[in-house]
Amino acid sequence: MVIFSQKEGYHAAHADYLRKGIYEQASALEKEPPEVVLSHELDIKGSWTITPLSIYLSHRFPNAKWFFFCLENTVIRLEKLLNLLEKFSSSQSSSISSVKTYFAVKTCAKYHADRIPIIKNSWAKHAINLGYFSDVADRNLREAYVVPNTTEGHCAKTYGILQEADKILTKNGFNWLVISDDDTIFSVARLLRLLTCYNPKHLVAIGERYGFRMWDNQFGYQYLTGGAGMVLSAPLVHEMVMSDACNCPSATTPDDMYLFGVCLSRLGVEPVHSPMFHQARPADYATAYLASQEPISFHKFWMLEPMDVYNEWFAEADNALPKPPKHTEL
C-alpha cells in the first residue's frame, strides 16, 4: 500500500496515523499486515505521483499481487478492501490472448501477390489463428479457404466466410472472429485489449458504425462498415449462419449493409460502435482527432505505403505482444 504523503509535520503525522491504523486492522483480522510505504520517506523525485514510483515498487516488491495507492486522509476499511480484491484476479492481463481469436482475411486471386505479403509482414505476424478466404486455391497461400466471389457487393462471399468460420470457431473453442479486408491494417495488440471490455458469450458485433437512411424510421438502419474491420462473438456468428434472417437476397448485395446491418437488426443485436476502427486512411482524418485516441485499424492501400502506416501507428504496440508460434493450420 502506497500512501502519498508529504514531509511537513502535519501531513507526515496523518500518513503515519493511517499506516498504524492499517497495521491494527490487519492484527484484528489475524492477517499478515500489508507492506505500507509513505512516499515522502523515499528519496525519489516526483514521488507524489505514481509513475516515478513504478520502478522502485516493481523492484522492491517483485512478488506483490496488488499495489494500492491512496492519500494520507483516505479512510481505509481493510476487511472490505481485501474482500473486494478477492473478487478479481491479480494476474489478469490487460489484454486477452490471441489464442482464442480467429482472424479471417477476405481477398481474391487478383491481390494475392501484392496485398497479402503486406498483411503477412505487418499485423498478421501477431495473429496466431488466421485464414485467408479467396475465390481460388493458391499453392503459395496454403492457409486459404475457397469461398464464392463477386465483383461487387460480396454478400455471398462474406456469408461463406461466416459459414466456414462458424465451423472453425466451434471446433477450436475460439471466442472471437475478426473479419478484415486484404487492404485493412490492424493493431492486433490494441484490438485484443479492446476485447477485454466485452463478454464473448454474448451476441456482440464491434466495428465502425455507419447509417443508411437513418431519418427513415421504417427503412433506415445502422450497420458496421466492412473496410474498417469488425469483430463478432462466436455465439453471434453461429446465430447468423443458423438463422434464415441472414440469407443474402443476392450474391452481390452489399455485405456490410446487409449482414452487419439488416441481419443484426432482425436478430435484435445492436452493433457496438468503436471510434478506434477507421474506414479510411490516416490522412483522411484530422490530426487532432487521431491524437485523441489509440486507433485500431485503417483502411485502403491507396496513395500510401501500407507498411509505413503500420510502422507509424501500430508496430510499437504489436511488438510488445509475446511472439506467437507458427500460425495454426485450421
Among residues 66, 87, 108, the one where a domain terminates is 87
Q: Are residues 119 and 210 in the same domain?
A: yes
- Whether residue 325 lies inside any domain: the answer is no
> Is residue 330 in a domain?
no
Q: How far apart are CA 2 and CA 285, in angstroms?
A: 42
- Same domain, yes or no: 301 and 153: yes
Element (H, E) at 181: strand 176-181
Instruction: Write down the pLDDT at residue 118.
Output: 97
**Same structural domain for residues 160 and 195?**
yes
Any domain includes 328 = no
How long is the chain?
Answer: 330
Global pTM reads 0.72
Note whether 256 and 290 are same-domain residues.
yes
**Domain match, 130 and 46 both:** no
CB under 8 Å, gap of 24 or more: what pairs does 201-204 form?
201/233, 201/235, 202/233, 202/235, 203/233, 203/235, 203/236, 203/239, 203/267, 203/269, 204/231, 204/232, 204/233, 204/236, 204/269, 204/272
Domain presence at residue 296: yes
Q: How far is Cα 203 from Cα 80, in angstroms, rounded to an integer?
A: 34
Q: Which three cell numbers stand for residue 283?
A: 490522412
Q: What is the pLDDT of residues 243-259, one digit of tens each?
A: 988 999 898 898 888 99
Residue 329 in this model has a pLDDT that exceeds 60: no
Q: Evaluate whether residue 180 is within a structural domain.
A: yes
Q: Quick one: 267 and 201 in the same domain? A: yes
Determine the pLDDT at residue 325.
Answer: 62
Among 83-97, 174-188, 275-289, whose mean pLDDT is lowest? 83-97
Domain that holds residue 222: 96-320
- Residues 167 and 76 grouped into a single domain: no
In a domain, 171, yes or no: yes
In a domain, residue 329? The reply is no
* pLDDT on residue 39: 94
* CB-based contact 19:38 (threshold 8 Å): yes
Taking alpha carbons only, the member of 19, 21, 37, 39 closest to residue 29 is 21
On the question of pLDDT at 330 being above 60, the answer is no
In total, how many domains does the chain have? 2
* Sheet with 69-71: strands ordered across: 37-38, 2-4, 69-71
Q: What is the pLDDT of residues 295-319, one digit of tens each?
A: 999 999 999 999 999 999 999 999 9
Contact residues for 180 (Cβ-Cβ < 8 A; gap 6+): 103, 104, 105, 106, 119, 186, 229, 297
Running DSSP on this structure, what letter comes out for residue 52?
H
Q: Is the domain of 62 the same as that of 146? A: no
Residues 114 and 63 in one domain: no
Which of 87, 118, 143 marks a domain boundary?
Answer: 87
Tens of pLDDT, residue by residue over 196-241, are: 989 999 999 999 998 887 777 777 789 999 899 999 999 999 999 9
Q: Is residue 299 in a domain? A: yes
The CATH number of the domain holding residue 282 is: 3.90.550.50
Task: Single out the residue in 87, 116, 151 at which a domain terminates.
Answer: 87
Residues 283 and 176 both lie in one domain = yes
178 and 263 part of one domain: yes
pLDDT at 91: 61
Task: Answer yes or no: do 133 and 219 share one domain.
Answer: yes
